[in-house]
């Protein structure tokens, strides 16, 4: 039973006892006159209604706090019930705000450490793939070429097939290394990295149209961590469109205007529907929170498919007085 009904029923019991006493032994006349009985009943109803209204108003902050706690999501900060009500209730809501702020801060700090370690590990694996596996396959490819030059005619076709398989494996290793650590992002910037990312996905059966609007190289530029977050969000959105949405065409747009950078990825797939957010979308939200960006994932307007939007506020340049 809720606190409201506990207090209300307790007040109702007390008032009913008082009414019975007034209609019974404690009365102004014997027998009870109809007018007196009617006055007592009306008074009882009025007191019950007033008690219910007062309790409902008094306990409303507690109800808002309960709903806020039930719907709290650390990946969607900002949902805070107002600090209202009696002193005890206001203290309770303020304590909840403090606890939620601490949880969001701790989660952001731990997520930053985890993602940083993840990027370092990706860089290490990409480097090893490029330096160790890639070089080994290159040596194998050269050796196969020497074998093909000396092999009899009846074996050259098989050696050629082995060369093609090795060359395809080498290309796949290099593609994986680029996805793990996009070197073009460090060397040429975000716009070129997104174009290179879109150029990779036709191999997965998805046609990607990449558009960059505005002046992507004009100041104030995004820092490296922010560019990496934008790139990873675009990468995850394209992967979801190809792997889960079964999309055939995806549009990847990077816009920069009015001190804001906006990444928009739309596809013509089957959409997310009522399905719960998976690890990929939650990972995008975690990355967006690290740079104070706003991420929205939902259906396209007026067309089937999914739309991913990432709004990033660019840093403001400091001017000398």
Helices (H), 181-319: 183-188, 190-200, 224-243, 279-290
Examine the fold and report which residue of 50, 73, 102 is the final residue of a domain before the chain moves on. Answer: 102
User: Residue 265: inside a domain, yes or no?
Assistant: yes
Q: What percent of the chain has pLDDT over 70?
A: 86
Q: Which residues contact 313 (CB under 8 A, 6 or more apart)?
A: 259, 260, 292, 293
Mean pLDDT in residue range 204-214: 79
Claim to verify: residue 56 and residue 70 sit in the same structural domain: yes
Structure tokens at 28: 């102004």
pLDDT band at 268 (very low <50, low <70, confident <90, very high): confident
Are 173 and 192 in the same domain? no
Whether 278 and 221 map to the same domain: the answer is yes
**Structural domain harbouring 238:** 183-313
Mean pLDDT over the full length of the chain: 78
Q: How far apart are CA 228 and CA 117, in angstroms?
A: 14
The pLDDT tens digits for 150-208 are 878 778 888 888 888 888 888 888 888 877 777 778 777 888 888 888 887 776 677 88
Question: Do 129 and 223 belong to one domain?
Answer: no
Do residues 27 and 86 share a domain? yes
Instruction: Specify whether 295 is located in the same domain as 309.
Output: yes
Co-location of 221 and 286 in the same domain:
yes
pTM metric for this prediction? 0.64
Residue 25 pLDDT: 62
Burial 124-150 (b: 16+ CB within 10 A, else e): eebeebbeebbeebeebbeebeeebee
User: Taking residues 293-311, what's their average pLDDT?
Assistant: 85
Does residue 109 fall inside a structural domain?
no
Residue 120 within a domain: yes
pLDDT score recorded for residue 193: 85
Q: Is residue 319 in some structural domain?
A: no
Give me the mean pLDDT over the 272-296 stretch. Answer: 80
Domains held by the chain: number: 3
- Quick one: 197 and 268 in the same domain? yes
pLDDT of residue 144: 84
Residue 107 belongs to a domain: no
Assess whether 93 and 45 both reside in one domain: yes
**Over residues 260-286, mean pLDDT:** 81
Q: Are residues 57 and 162 in the same domain?
A: no
Calpha distance 304→266 (Å, rounded): 10
What are the tokens at 216? Answer: 């992507």
265: domain CATH number?
3.30.565.10
């Amino acid at each position: 039973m809720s606190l409201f009904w506990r207090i209300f029923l307790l007040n109702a019991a007390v008032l009913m006892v008082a009414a019975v006493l007034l209609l019974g032994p404690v009365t102004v006349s014997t027998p009870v006159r109809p007018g007196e009985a009617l006055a007592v009943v009306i008074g009882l109803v009025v007191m019950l209604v007033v008690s219910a209204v007062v309790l409902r108003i008094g306990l409303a902050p507690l109800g808002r706090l309960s709903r806020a706690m039930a719907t709290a999501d650390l990946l969607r900060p900002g949902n805070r019930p107002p600090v209202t009500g009696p002193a005890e209730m206001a203290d309770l809501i303020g304590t909840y705000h403090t606890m939620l702020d601490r949880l969001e801060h701790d989660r952001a700090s731990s997520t930053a450490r985890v993602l940083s370690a993840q990027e370092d590990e990706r860089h290490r694996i990409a480097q090893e793939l490029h330096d160790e596996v890639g070089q080994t396959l290159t040596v194998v490819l050269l050796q196969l070429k020497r074998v093909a030059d000396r092999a009899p005619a009846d074996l050259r076709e098989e050696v050629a097939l082995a060369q093609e398989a090795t060359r395809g494996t080498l290309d796949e290793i290099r593609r994986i290394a680029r996805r793990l650590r996009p070197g073009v992002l460090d060397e040429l910037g975000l716009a070129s990295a997104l174009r290179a990312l879109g150029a990779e996905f036709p191999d997965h059966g998805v046609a990607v149209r990449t558009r960059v609007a505005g002046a992507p190289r004009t100041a104030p530029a995004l820092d490296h961590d922010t560019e990496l977050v934008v790139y990873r969000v675009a990468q995850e959105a394209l992967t979801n469109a190809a792997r889960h949405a079964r999309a055939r065409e995806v549009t990847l747009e990077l816009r920069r205007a009015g001190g804001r950078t906006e990444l928009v990825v739309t596809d013509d797939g089957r959409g997310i529907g009522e399905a719960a957010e998976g690890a990929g979308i939650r990972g995008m939200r975690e990355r967006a929170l690290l740079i104070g960006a706003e991420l929205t994932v939902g259906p396209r307007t007026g067309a089937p498919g999914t739309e991913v939007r990432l709004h990033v506020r660019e840093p403001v340049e400091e001017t000398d007085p």
